[in-house]
Chains A and B, each alone.
Chain A
Amino acid sequence: DGGITQSPKYLFRKEGQNVTLSCEQNLNHDAMYWYRQDPGQGLRLIYYSQIVNDFQKGDIAEGYSVSREKKESFPLTVTSAQKNPTAFYLCASRRREGQNNEQFFGPGTRLTVL
């Protein structure tokens, strides 16, 4: 089955530790995105990537880093510089042509920093 997988579903880390969230897609999509969701707020864009080895900052990139070494993978690292890392993180992807600009979302990862 084609889709987007995020692992793990729940993640706990101690304050001051870096943590990497996984996002993999087998949809052959070109663009990938990372969003953060906080209670009472909509999703906010962290980083996005249009092609392999290229990515751009979104609206709230501070304290985060990404890489895009493979088309199907777009891992997000939450660094110790991120002031409030506890949140729900969603990964999305989109094909270059067709599908009317729809972004497909993964199931998300809930990160809790203790």
Chain B
Amino acid sequence: AQTVTQSQPEMSVQEAETVTLSCTYDTSENNYYLFWYKQPPSRQMILVIRQEAYKQQNATENRFSVNFQKAAKSFSLKISDSQLGDTAMYFCAFMKHLSFGNEKLTFGTGTRLTIIP
């Protein structure tokens, strides 16, 4: 079974600074996907960024980027120029490459990020 570990329950950073959230996972699979989801106070889950394990290049979405280290099974999220709207719970998630609809997301326990004005 896959496990996802987020070792930082809470973090805070000043507005405009850069912050990195860590995530490690354990799997024997070779093909899989990794995701970072954001859950703001509204509790709506929003996809931030995704990474396919077969791609060596780290994914980037505007101010959000990942550092994917497949051998180390590490998948950290970097938020640059942090904004007040980035305040949220952030969840790292793992998904095996399976047939459609049969895939399951395994989530970490989350990191509560607070951006300080």
Q: Give residues in A with beta carbon < 8 Å to B.
A: 30-31, 33, 35, 40-45, 48-51, 56, 58-59, 88, 90, 92, 94, 96, 100-103, 105, 107-108
Besides A42-B109, A45-B104, A96-B101, 5 other CB < 8 A contacts?
A: A35-B105, A42-B110, A51-B101, A105-B44, A107-B44
Q: Give residues in B with beta carbon < 8 Å to A.
A: 4, 9, 33, 35, 42-47, 50, 52, 91, 93, 95, 100-110
CA–CA, A105 and B46, complex, Å = 7
Would you call B50 and A100 a contact (CB within 8 A)? yes
* Interchain residue pairs with CB less than 8 A apart (23): A30-B101, A31-B101, A35-B105, A42-B4, A42-B109, A44-B107, A48-B101, A49-B101, A50-B102, A56-B102, A88-B43, A90-B45, A100-B50, A101-B33, A101-B103, A102-B50, A103-B47, A103-B105, A105-B44, A105-B45, A105-B46, A107-B42, A108-B44
A-B contact count (CB 8 A): 60
CA–CA, A9 and B74, complex, Å = 36
B residues in contact with A59, CB < 8 Å: 104
CA–CA, A49 and B103, complex, Å = 10
B residues in contact with A40, CB < 8 Å: 9, 109
Cross-interface CB contact of A108 among B43, B52, B100, cutoff 8 Å? B43
Smallest CB-CB separation from B50: which chain A residue?
A: A100
Shortest A9–chain B CB gap in Å is: 10
Would you call B44 and A45 a contact (CB within 8 A)? no
Smallest CB-CB separation from A38: which chain B residue?
A: B109
B residues in contact with A88, CB < 8 Å: 43
Would you call A102 and B100 a contact (CB within 8 A)? no
A residues in contact with B44, CB < 8 Å: 105, 107-108
